[in-house]
Homo-oligomer: A and B are copies of this chain.
Amino acid sequence: MSASLPPFPKPQEPTDEPVLLELSAGADEPCLRADAARNRARLLEAATRLVAEHGAAGVTMEAVAAAASVGKGTVFRRFGDRTGLLMALLDHSAQQLQAALLSGPPPLGPGAPPAERLGAFGRAVLRQSVDHLELQLAAQPEPTRRHSFPPQRFLSGHVTLLVRQAVPDADAPLLAQALMGYLDPALVHYLTKDCGMPLERLESGWNDLVERLIRTELP
């Protein structure tokens, strides 16, 4: 049971090197055999349909494989595990967000003061969370890996940067993690669904949080 060579290469390994600029997922498609690409598309389409029909819980690896007329092993080879498949479904919006952060218009993108960018960032993530809440929750990998997954690292890296700009003498990574914790989909779900808080309250809570953390008044 000790770590032997993986039976087949995982599509995206948790890398240890800085990932700030790597667009994380989706970059594994370039060299993909014709049939593989075709099947990948079929699988994603099938999964999307299953989500729409039976909710995220209905996305069974076997069901997806069957719906795409493909072997089960293929699903695992392509996406690594269930988490990987779900993440792939979320990938599109994640990439959009990343792009907006890196090169979109202010205040989300570069050009605005850090405090405002942080405010906009929180609102954007909050929105995205409620939009895809079910998937976000289902895609949550086992707790151990949650923070080390590339998209997550990209986001916290981004926040770290902004925090460092706003308060250069603070322990930026730690403050950033505290901020990110507030945006955790599970927390958002709990506060909105179980506690019945409206999204607006979460948003102004975010503003308050940012203001306090960087000791600045947000307009």
Contacts and interface: CB of A to CB of B under 8 A. Distances in A.
Contacts of A17: none
**Copies of this chain held together in the complex:** 2
Contact of A178 (B171, B174, B178): B178
Given A140-B143, A202-B174, A205-B171, A187 B194 contact: no
A143 B191 CA distance: 13
Contacts of A195: 173
A147 B190 CA distance: 7
A110 interface: no
A81 interface: no
Interface string A159-187: 00000000000110111011111101111
Tell me what chain A mostly uses at the interface: helix, strand, loop, or mixed.
helix
Given A147-B194, A189-B144, A177 B182 contact: yes
A202 B181 CA distance: 15
Interface stretch (A99-107, A124-132, A206-214): A206-214
A177 B187 contact: yes
A123 B208 CA distance: 24
Interface size class of A (residues with CB under 8 A): 35 or more
Contacts of A178: 178-179, 181-182, 205, 209
B171 A208 contact: yes
A171 B201 contact: yes
A155 to B, nearest CB: 14
- 4 closest A-B pairs by beta carbon, nearest first, are A181-B181, A174-B205, A143-B186, A147-B190
24 contacts: A143-B186, A144-B189, A146-B186, A146-B190, A148-B190, A148-B194, A170-B208, A171-B204, A171-B208, A173-B195, A174-B201, A174-B202, A174-B205, A175-B205, A175-B208, A175-B212, A177-B182, A177-B187, A177-B191, A178-B178, A178-B181, A178-B182, A181-B182, A181-B184
